[in-house]
């Protein structure tokens, strides 16, 4: 009697897992977007680096250099580009 009960329990578990596997396997498409594309971009070629920017902040000046770098790949093989921003205090001209 105990073996028959265990057989039905295992059979019920197998049927449940099979049913969940067949009907619950919808694939979620990844969404590779950024709220600010000036900081991160997905795919394509290397974004262009702009010339260093010099800001006059009153008593001192600041040089800002932005550089794009490859920062890995998405699961579907697209390149992830991120921007590094370097700041340096410089004498005002």
In tens, the pLDDT along 21-74 reads 555 556 667 666 777 777 888 888 888 888 999 999 888 899 999 999 998 888
At residue 86, does pLDDT exceed 80? yes
Tell me the three state secondary structure of residue 84.
Answer: strand
At residue 6, does pLDDT exceed 70? yes
Tell me the C-alpha distance between 2 and 17, whole Å: 23
Helices (H), 1-90: 2-23
Which residue, 44, 81, 77, 79, is CA-closest to 66? Answer: 81
Q: What range defines the domain where residue 65 resides?
A: 2-90
**Structural domain count of the chain:** 1
pLDDT score recorded for residue 65: 93
Tell me the three state secondary structure of residue 86.
Answer: strand
Tell me the three state secondary structure of residue 2.
Answer: helix
């Amino acid at each position: 009697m105990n073996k028959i009960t265990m057989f039905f329990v295992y059979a019920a578990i197998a049927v449940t897992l099979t049913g969940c596997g067949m009907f619950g396997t919808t694939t979620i498409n990844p969404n590779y977007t950024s709220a600010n594309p000036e900081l991160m971009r997905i795919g394509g070629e290397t974004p262009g680096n702009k010339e260093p920017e010099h800001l006059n902040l009153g008593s001192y000046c600041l040089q800002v250099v932005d550089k794009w770098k490859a920062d890995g790949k998405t699961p579907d093989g697209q390149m992830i580009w991120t921007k590094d921003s370097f700041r340096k205090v410089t004498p005002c001209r």
